[in-house]
Copies of this chain bind each other. A is one copy, B any other.
Amino acid sequence: MRGLVFTDQLELKRDLESLSIPPGEALIRSLVVGICNTDIEIVRGYFGFQGILGHEFVGVVEKCPDAPQWEGKRVVGEINAWCGECPACHRGDESHCPNRTTLGIFGRDGAMADYFLLPHRVLYEVPNSVSDEEAVFTEPLAAACEIPDQVSIRPQDRVVVVGDGKLGLLCAQVLHLTGCELVVVGKHLEKLDLLRNRGIKTCLLGDSLPGGVDIVVEATGNEDGFQLARQMVRPRGTIVLKSTYHGTPQIDLSMIVVDEIRLIGSRCGPFGAALRLLSSKQVDVTSLISDRFPFDEALTAFQKARENGVLKVLLDF
């Protein structure tokens, strides 16, 4: 089978051995797989992962010996394969299971291959009302849905999302559903337009920024974004950190104490809720697709995904 493998460099291999299915796992045939910033960072060497990339997928279960009712179903899946037996799993924090492997990120080959494996217990059937190109956004949309799971967001709250990349645009749409007073701060007029078309207020970096904000979602993943968030949030306000950072920025912890700021790290989220938002069309993801490539052109697709201003690039199998 074919697979996009990262070792020291990115390589499309065509002669990978077929997979044997461990207990509890399903063999899934890829339909569409998205390129995420995390994939690009793995290729830059930031995560130390080597293997087949890809964790944003929609596929069809080919074989699932331990739970054959899944066979033939169109599915998406959580990217963390948790153990189900440790204190974190028992507490309901499965995505923090210390024994987890993570699809295409840590200890487990990913979905950028003709076939891949995941435990059937992390799979979700995709409703017919959700197309393949919508379903492939389930994972990042679930990550956006993690925010209201962690922070109560009310219609009277003033909320800012910093960052108009893919994750910022998804977070903005999810937060807009709460009826809060939302502004999205970004650098790219054409990306912010996608939100303005949906009635979401935006602000170009360089214009006068909101101040005294109750909740700021930092979705740029760079230190400047964090400083902006710090500048806009009110005392006793909340900053949600939605993306990882390169290096270890210097943070003024004293100001966090003096202003009693809450800083909340936020990662993977609820897949069921994300699928429901896709099915009800309360969130638009297809306008975030910049380009699609057949899997055979995966290397070209990665080049495209790294270009400035490009949003989601999809791989079709």
Contact B250 A250 (CB under 8 A): yes
Contact A251 B254 (CB under 8 A): no
CB-CB under 8 A from A212, the residues of chain B are 87
Neighbour of A245 across the interface among B96, B254, B261, B264, CB < 8 A: B254
CB-CB under 8 A from A226, the residues of chain B are 253
- In the complex formed, the residue of B with least CB distance to A236 is B93
Q: Which residues of A from 249 to 277 have beta carbons under 8 Å from B?
A: 249-254, 256-267
CB-CB under 8 A from A128, the residues of chain B are none
Contact B263 A267 (CB under 8 A): no
Contact B256 A267 (CB under 8 A): no
The answer to the question of A131 belonging to the interface, with a C-beta cut-off of 8 Å to chain B, is no
The answer to the question of A235 belonging to the interface, with a C-beta cut-off of 8 Å to chain B, is yes
- In the complex formed, the residue of B with least CB distance to A97 is B235
Q: In the complex, A253 Cα to B87 Cα: how many Å?
A: 25
The answer to the question of A37 belonging to the interface, with a C-beta cut-off of 8 Å to chain B, is no
Q: In the complex, A244 Cα to B261 Cα: how many Å?
A: 13
Contact A266 B260 (CB under 8 A): yes
The answer to the question of A282 belonging to the interface, with a C-beta cut-off of 8 Å to chain B, is no
The answer to the question of A243 belonging to the interface, with a C-beta cut-off of 8 Å to chain B, is yes
Contact B267 A244 (CB under 8 A): no
Over the window 123-148 of chain A, the binary record of Cβ atoms lying under 8 Å from chain B Cβ atoms (1 yes, 0 no) is 00000000000000000000000000
Contact A267 B262 (CB under 8 A): no
Contact B251 A253 (CB under 8 A): yes
With contacts A96-B235, A212-B87, A250-B250 known, is A257 near B261, CB below 8 A?
A: no
Contact A263 B260 (CB under 8 A): no
CB-CB under 8 A from A243, the residues of chain B are 257
The answer to the question of A290 belonging to the interface, with a C-beta cut-off of 8 Å to chain B, is no
CB-CB under 8 A from A266, the residues of chain B are 257, 260
Over the window 204-243 of chain A, the binary record of Cβ atoms lying under 8 Å from chain B Cβ atoms (1 yes, 0 no) is 0000000010000000000000100000001110000111
23 A-B pairs within 8 Å (CB atoms) are namely A88-B234, A93-B236, A96-B234, A96-B235, A96-B236, A96-B260, A226-B253, A243-B257, A244-B254, A245-B254, A248-B250, A248-B251, A248-B252, A249-B250, A251-B253, A256-B263, A259-B265, A260-B266, A261-B264, A262-B263, A262-B264, A262-B265, A263-B263
Query: Residues of A with Cβ closer than 8 Å to B?
Result: 87-88, 93, 96, 150, 212, 226, 234-236, 241-245, 248-254, 256-267
- With A241-B256, A244-B253, A261-B265 already in contact, 15 other A-B pairs whose C-beta atoms are closer than 8 Å: A88-B234, A93-B236, A96-B234, A96-B260, A226-B253, A244-B254, A244-B257, A248-B250, A248-B252, A249-B251, A250-B251, A256-B263, A257-B266, A260-B266, A262-B265
